[in-house]
Amino acid sequence: MKQPTLKTKEYDSEIFRKRIQKIQKKLSKGEILLLFAANHKIRNRDVEYKFRQNSDFYYLTGITEEDAIFILTSDTVGMFCLPKDKEKEIWTGIRLGKEKIKSMLGLDFTYDLTDWDKQKSAILIGNHTLYYFFGENPDRDRELLTECKTLSERAREGKFGPHRIEHPYFLHEERLIKSKDEIQILKNAAEITKFGHMRIMRESKPGMYEYELEALLEQEYLKYGSIGGGYGHIVASGKNACILHYVNNDDQLLDGELVLVDSGAEWKYYTADVTRVFPVGKRFTEPQKTIYEVVLYAQKNAIRHSVVGVPFNEVHEKTVRFLADCLREMGFLKGSLDEILEKETYKKFYMHRTGHYLGMDVHDVGRYYLDGKSRPLKDGQVVTVEPGLYFDPTDDSIPKEYRGIGIRIEDDILIHGKEPINLTESIPKEISEIEALKS
């Protein structure tokens, strides 16, 4: 099998300098943006989870060290970062240090993180608006609110601090539209993801366990330089596929059942998000084929409809209408189509949305509604398209041969004029392709 081509530059400071300049132009005098890097999270006792930088912080700086603080105003840009410390670096790795970071990004100032408490008043004073992602870190929220209150009490000195805190939506609006470099990274993430999905399609067999397939996915992702999955792998065999966010991954694969795998590799801080369904054994059963073909048809229609100018929610509404009509014609739902849609009885079988934004985060940032209306799709957006149907294994009103079937088919779609580009198109999803892999 052909090896994936993963050619992108390593750290390119020019990319991040340009992003900083672009965001800086959105700030007026008296406005300040603060971004905080992620910190290490404790898994248990003194063991930490694997570190992953905050997406917003990485997007603007490309810095992957913890606990740093990025400061941006209309005329200055700076950072507080971990100080150089030989003893600590022996244990946890070499730190960049303030001088190197200043040079890398062309910053106006850098301080050691240990200076933050001494400098934060001077940083905030004279700014009336603080742009900050409030609510992510309660301790940090309290610190900043206290500091703002303290500064407000210095009015008699002719000084002031922020009296308004706003969510920096403008940063997320920038992240919503992907550059050529970002699209290439997402293509590479998709290519790595393909190798994982195709391997488990080929190698799954009765008697294996879900966690064995999860291990194969992770092996393929890591082999090509990914940090692993961009979210928790869902490997759901049989009736587990009817649990939308099933992550136990500890059941045994049984002949005659299907496996639903929702997994995407993260590469260079961008993640793919793909769902495929395939038989444990060599062939789909007839009931499985019937439901699969309905979902596949719905997905292809939804992809075709994902074009510039179409309101994002319209893709979902048309998909719901199609699936509801199919369920009615097949006898799973009673009443007219309008009644089914009005009463939302289709949600017994289809209870989630048809897609979401994709990028650095699997459920990526950006507003879905503008002025109360569903946002039209634009060139450069990447979205998922993932319709599904799920048949409750405990529902006696459903014919026995359909109970426990869960089908979801998901691809990553780049909005590109009137011709959407499927970034994950090469991952097999036709029944004939999947069964050929199983032969």
Domains and CATH numbers, the chain: 13-174 (3.40.350.10), 177-438 (3.90.230.10)
Residue 51 to residue 137: CA distance in whole angstroms = 17
The pLDDT of residue 6: 63
- From the candidates 221, 224, 356, 361, give the one annotated as an active-site residue: 356
Residue 82, token pair as written in the block: 């971990």
The pLDDT of residue 153: 86
The pLDDT of residue 182: 97
According to DSSP, residue 16 is labeled H
- From the candidates 59, 224, 390, 402, give the one annotated as an active-site residue: 390
Q: What is the pLDDT of residues 19-44, one digit of tens each?
A: 999 999 999 999 999 999 999 999 99
Q: Among this protein's residues, is 352 annotated catalytic?
A: yes
Q: Among this protein's residues, is 48 annotated catalytic?
A: no
The pLDDT of residue 155: 75
Q: Among this protein's residues, is 245 annotated catalytic?
A: yes
- From the candidates 52, 352, 353, 375, give the one annotated as an active-site residue: 352
Residue 396 contacts residue 359 (beta carbons within 8 Å): no
Give the residue ranges of the chain where pLDDT is below 70.
Answer: 1-9
Q: Among this protein's residues, is 233 annotated catalytic?
A: no
The pLDDT of residue 419: 98
Q: Among this protein's residues, is 386 annotated catalytic?
A: yes
Residue 281 contacts residue 438 (beta carbons within 8 Å): yes
Q: Among this protein's residues, is 46 annotated catalytic?
A: yes
- From the candidates 65, 182, 386, 411, give the one annotated as an active-site residue: 386
Residue 307 to residue 6: CA distance in whole angstroms = 28
The SS3 assignment for 349 reads coil
Residue 216 to residue 200: CA distance in whole angstroms = 7
The SS3 assignment for 228 reads strand
- From the candidates 147, 174, 191, 273, give the one annotated as an active-site residue: 273
First to last CA, the chain: 17
pTM exceeding the 0.75 threshold for the entire prediction: yes
Residue 109 contacts residue 81 (beta carbons within 8 Å): no
- From the candidates 40, 164, 202, 245, give the one annotated as an active-site residue: 245
The pLDDT of residue 157: 80
- From the candidates 56, 147, 182, 262, give the one annotated as an active-site residue: 262
